[in-house]
Amino acid sequence: MASSLLSRQLAVCLQHNLRMGAPAGCRYVSKTATKTMVEFEYDAPSMKTEVPGPRSKELAKQLGEIQNVGAVHFFCNYEESRGNYLVDADGNRMLDLYTQISSIPIGYNHPSLMKAMANPNNLSTFVNRPALGILPPENFPDKLIESLLSVAPTGMTRVQTMSCGSCSNENAFKAMFIWYKLKERGMRLPSEEESTSCMINQSPGSPNLSILSFMGAFHGRTMGCLATTHSKVIHKLDVPSFDWPVAPFPRLRYPLEEFARENAQEEDRCLEEVEDLIVKWRQKGKPVAGIVIEPIQAEGGDNHASPDFFLKLRSIARKHGCAFHVDEVQTGCGTTGKFWAHEHWGSDDPADVVSFSKKMLTGGYFYRDELQADKPYRIFNTWMGEPSKNVFLSEVLNVIRREKLLEEVTRSGKALLQGLYELQSQHPHLLSRARGQGTFCAIDLRDENTRNDVIQRTRNKGVLLGGCGDRTIRFRPALVFKEYHAHQFLNIFSDVLRDYK
């Protein structure tokens, strides 16, 4: 009964979808073992207006009555979007290399996700959002095992789900503070003074502990996270913060292989500074409980560092009794060609905490056993994530495995980076510092205005890109981005760049 309903539903969904968007310019690809399904994607961008078009502009005016719309690029027709192609409200169809700020794992309207939605067994998971910390659904342990734990980083068997990236990092920070104080306190119970002082935000109950972060980092925008974010003034201005140490992140030369010696020197300089800061903040009475870092700084301008740098940093953390937190919110879920970017370091003990969100669809963090809070309700909130996100994540992971998407990412990433190298050598006054891992690639323009202008012109020719840092374009396609799409992008990008001669 259930399965015949399913195919009826899918048939209707697909008919409905076909009726709406497909007729012109779509190709049919049968790439999976699923028999009942017809998967399709468009074969190229198709532009009808400049972007934003008249319909988007009208909608922005309407939404502007309700909230700040200064950041809105354009309005989307998600129903008609497919795979790597985003369709806007004016009927423009763009190859999407930004994917909702890197948060769409397997493209738009993936049939596996549609199928999960239409499965009657999942209905109640979507409709009844539980307070997971007190009343989890019966299948929750199984769902965690089949989704998150199946991709747990080395050395980690524990995971706490959260609703978004900021909440994940905030709670990971709290877990590190609690762990640090538990170590310090030993078997002693919290003192009366600790208990009363924390209620009015005063030390010793609210201790003067700190998290060390890096210049250029982005870890979110709630107030704990924001104190570790240092990528743009607009994120931080006018918001009170904590006096926490900020270390320099290595400014390397690319391609990394060509500048190995001087890059290593730069990394050593930064590591030395990290140790100095840890000592200095301890002397200041604000000891560093944890170090947080992205494997590749994304929002801050796609800044890379070597595996050696991260492994030494991890050792420094251990030496000084600080927890080591790797923020994989943007780098995680396959985009660098490995499931977690930190796997490129080749360590079997990469971190104490690994946080995630975006492409993982649910937020949360993995952690080593010692990082578990000693008592319930210390890491807690009403929802603590959402089981329906685990349903989708299971499907995403199945697709990644079935379609060997990590290999695909490595392949298409190579084509993308190779193409960027070529364009860079053709336009040396315009482009520089092409770099990347998997499809997590980037290139710098000569200045901010040119970068913004190039992004807009490329968009008007049917490719959606995003910026980061001062003058960088970051490439963040979905995991279903293939060599074919890389070449499609490179051709269009090449045309755009020619105009800057």
Sequence-separated (6 or more) residues with CB below 8 Å from residue 379: 160, 171, 174, 175, 178, 373
- Work out how close the CB of 477 gets to a copy of itself at its nearest, in angstroms, rounded to a whole number: 15
Judged by beta carbon, residue 259 or residue 380, the one nearer a copy of itself is 380
SS3 at position 87: strand
Q: How many binding residues for a copy of itself (CB under 8 A)?
A: 133
Letter for the amino acid at 124?
S
Please confirm, yes or no, whether 450 is among the known catalytic residues: no
- Of residues 339 and 366, the one with the C-beta less far from a copy of itself: 366
Instruction: Name the minimum Å distance from CB 445 to a copy of itself.
Output: 20
- Specify the residue, 87 or 431, whose C-beta has the smaller distance to a copy of itself: 87
Binding residues among 67-126 for a copy of itself as defined by CB under 8 A = 67-79, 81, 86, 89, 100-101, 103-104, 108-110, 113-114, 117-118, 120, 123-126
Residues 164-193 that bind a copy of itself (CB under 8 A): 164-167, 170-171, 173-174, 177-178, 180-182, 190
- Which lies closer to a copy of itself via its Cβ, residue 140 or residue 421? 140
Where in 331-390 is the site for a copy of itself (CB under 8 A)? 357-358, 361, 372-373, 375-383
List the 85-87 sheet strands across, edge first: 85-87, 93-96, 463-464
Q: How far apart are CA 129 and CA 137, in angstroms?
A: 10
* 327 included as an active-site residue: yes
Among 16, 27, 319, 401, binds a copy of itself (CB under 8 A): 16
Q: Distance between CA 370 and CA 175 in Å, rounded?
A: 10
Judged by CB under 8 A, the residue of 27, 31, 48, 129 near a copy of itself is 129
Closest CA to 316 of 365, 228, 265, 247: 247
The helix (run of H) or strand (run of E) holding residue 405 is: helix 405-426
Residue 294: name the closest of 363, 228, 393 by CA. Answer: 228
Q: Map residue 221 onto helix, strand or coil.
A: coil
- Residue 149 or 423: the one with the smaller Cβ distance to a copy of itself is 149
Residues numbered 197 to 216 that lie near a copy of itself (CB under 8 A) are 198-202, 205-210, 215
Which residues in 216-235 contact a copy of itself (CB under 8 A)? 220-225, 227, 230, 232-235
The nearest distance, CB 429 to a copy of itself, in angstroms, is 29
How many whole angstroms separate alpha carbon 32 and alpha carbon 29? 9
Nearest residue to 483 (alpha-carbon basis) of 407, 372, 391, 385: 407
CA–centroid distance for 66 within its chain = 28
Residue selected from 18, 27, 30, 63 as contacting a copy of itself according to rule CB under 8 A: 63
Minimum separation from the CB atom of position 195 to a copy of itself (A): 5
Backbone dihedral angles phi then psi of residue 493, each to the nearest 5 degrees: -60, -40
* 130 or 155: CB nearest a copy of itself: 130
Q: Which of 48, 276, 382, 447 is catalytic?
A: 382
Instruction: Write out the binding residues for a copy of itself, residues 408-447 only, by CB under 8 A.
Output: none
Helix locations, 222-259, DSSP H: 223-226, 233-236
Q: Are 152 and 403 in contact (CB under 8 A)?
A: no
The number of angstroms, rounded, from the C-alpha of 103 to the middle of its chain's C-alpha atoms is 6
* Parallel/antiparallel/unpaired status of strands 210-214 and 246-247: parallel
Closest to a copy of itself by CB, 8 vs 498, is 8
Q: Tell the smallest beta-carbon distance from residue 422 to a copy of itself (Å).
A: 30
Residue 357 or residue 439: which is nearer to a copy of itself going by CB?
357
Active-site residue, selected from the candidate residues 218, 310, 366, 475: 218
Q: How far is the CB of 114 from a copy of itself (least distance, A)?
A: 6
Residue 36: count other Cβ atoms within 10 Å of its Cβ: 12
Annotated catalytic residue: which of 88, 90, 96, 327? 327
Contacting a copy of itself within 145-164 (CB under 8 A): 145, 149, 157-160, 163-164
Tokens of 308: 């050696």
Find the helix or strand (DSSP H, E) in which 436 lies: strand 431-437
Site for a copy of itself in 267-306 (CB under 8 A): none
Active site residue 392: no
Task: Say whether residue 259 binds a copy of itself (CB under 8 A).
Answer: no
- Paired sense of beta strands 440-445 and 472-475, if any: antiparallel
Q: Specify the DSSP element, H or E, that contains 18.
A: helix 2-21
Of the ranges 196-204, 332-340, 344-352, 454-462, which one interacts with a copy of itself (CB under 8 A)? 196-204
Measured distance CA(487)–CA(84) in Å, rounded? 13
- Known active-site residue 410: no
CA distance 362 to 374: 24
- The residues carrying an active-site annotation are 218, 327, 358, 382
